[in-house]
Amino acid sequence: MNSQKLWRHMVYWALASLLLLLLISAVLLHPGRITATGAAGPAAPGGGAQLQAAILDPVADTWLDADYANGIYKDGLPIYTQWFLACKVPNTKRPLLKFDLSSIPAGSLIIEARLSLHTNWYVSVAGRHLTVNVYALKRNWVESEANWRYATSVVRWNADGAESSADRETTPSAVAIVNNTNTWFNWDVTTLVSRWVNNQIPNYGMILIAPEMSTEYRFDSRDNPNTALWPELWVNYLAPTATPTPTVTATRTHTATATPTHTSTATGTATATHTQTSTVTATWTHTMVATPTHTASATPTGTLTPPATATATGTPLAIVAGAVALQGRPAPPHPSWVLPLEVQVSGLGTYHLNSDQEGHFELPVPPYQFYDIRVKGLNTLSALASGRWVGAGVTSIGFGTLPTGDCSGDDAVDITDFSVFRSVFGLNAPHADFNGDGVVDIFDFSLFRMNFGRSGPVIVSTP
């Protein structure tokens, strides 16, 4: 293992260890706040489930290519032997990956599962982003045989490119925006891995599809000689423990002492005492959703203080219709998507408002100008859209996913945030409740750990 990959793994295990310490301290200091549904109960010291972590390399990866439908690339070699996995729209290049999860016991509570892919040097149109969805496959495929038309050498996809609902699920399990070369990108596949591990669906792997016209990026594959750049699946889980066998303890037989006048022998009856520990299984469902599509409404969301220049002239105000995606929350529309936002607009100032239940917000501004617009959520990193032209009427701007984990509000996820997070663990503290479920718990820590070390602003690509 080279130094780069070793370093990434050391950081992962260090944060996993922090999670275990956090759970133990929470159980000891706040036992009344920890419940089975919060997943901290099984991790209590002295028995129960134990926190474990796994970092898995793929057992198979390739891509489907409409331009090389027979699976032979332009260099004359099979696609599956290439050092990269190409992803391109409109729906012409689709990576396939499969991971062996047999090392994770069935019945495990999956705390977090993250697919990590590294882009190489290539991008077809610099400066553009690529929205990439992850779908669960529903059909077996063979790495050395799969191509645009066939899953194996003798079995066709139901529709070319695995497009049919018989080939793959139609709802994405995760989504991420890829916008740079030589960079790691992550997809939260917690729910999908949980379904695989607990035998809710067969593990046929996943397919990555970019649904919109934009550009082509390439991810390093498991055929790259530099193993530090291989795809990886990072999994934190609580493994189940076997139900203990009841212990039978027999009581000692008692015999009375004889006296000169009377001899009495009393024999006690042996009784069995059963000691049994119940097993509690926690269940949690996590959904990662795509950046929502904005539908303009007539009423702005949140509370705004319009700048003085907005009313000084007779020119009607334009509307910036913004959209953000939030990590770790149920699919919108949902109340947990209502989040306090701070929106800074160049030349105008700072606005404070709320997103609605779909992650949308509206902001009135003077039209016919270029603006730099920075959006930051209560506990998220900021996103910056620079040089955006706002004309008359409504201008829609998607800010992508706002990475969460910033408890302190300094636009970074670091050890300061961990200190704040630990102090409110088990409480209802919105600034540390990263998934918006009303309590700071292990699932919020999972999101924190995913983004640890990141800082804002996240640059929004020019459309």
Single-letter code of the amino acid located at 352: H
**Contact assessment for residue 366 and residue 292, using Cβ atoms and an 8 Å cutoff:** no
What CATH number does the domain located at 51-239 have? 2.60.120
d(CA 356, CA 377): 12
d(CA 17, CA 52): 9
Alpha helix positions (H), 251-376: 309-312
| Bond into 292 cis (ω within 30) | no
**Contact assessment for residue 327 and residue 288, using Cβ atoms and an 8 Å cutoff:** yes
d(CA 194, CA 149): 30
Residue spans of the domains in the chain: they are: 51-239, 309-459
Question: Tens digit of pLDDT per residue, the chain (463 long)?
Answer: 555 555 555 555 565 556 555 554 544 444 333 332 233 333 333 344 566 888 999 999 999 999 999 998 888 899 989 999 999 876 689 999 999 999 999 988 888 899 999 999 999 988 888 889 999 999 999 999 999 999 999 999 999 999 999 999 999 999 888 989 999 999 989 899 999 999 999 999 999 999 876 789 999 999 999 999 999 999 988 888 765 554 444 444 444 444 444 444 333 433 333 333 333 333 333 333 333 333 333 333 444 444 433 333 456 899 999 999 998 888 888 999 999 999 999 999 999 999 999 999 999 999 999 999 999 999 999 999 999 999 999 999 999 889 999 999 999 999 899 989 988 988 999 999 999 999 998 888 888 888 888 899 988 876 6
Only one residue has tokens 């130094």, namely: 3
pLDDT given at position 169: 96
The answer as to CATH 3.30.1180.20 being correct for domain 309-459 is no
Taking Cα atoms as reference points, which of 109, 236, 232, 136 lies closest to residue 192?
136
The pTM of this model reads 0.55
d(CA 372, CA 68): 42
Taking Cα atoms as reference points, which of 418, 429, 327, 445 lies closest to residue 40?
445
Contacts for 147 with CB less than 8 Å, ≥ 6 apart: 64, 65, 68, 69, 70, 71, 79
Contacts for 51 with CB less than 8 Å, ≥ 6 apart: 16, 19, 20, 23, 43, 111, 236, 237, 238
Q: How many residues does the chain have?
A: 463
Alpha helix positions (H), 139-216: 190-197
**Contact assessment for residue 108 and residue 188, using Cβ atoms and an 8 Å cutoff:** no
Taking Cα atoms as reference points, which of 315, 451, 309, 302 lies closest to residue 379?
451
**Tell me: the pLDDT tens digits for 53-64?**
889 999 999 999
pLDDT given at position 58: 97
d(CA 426, CA 406): 17
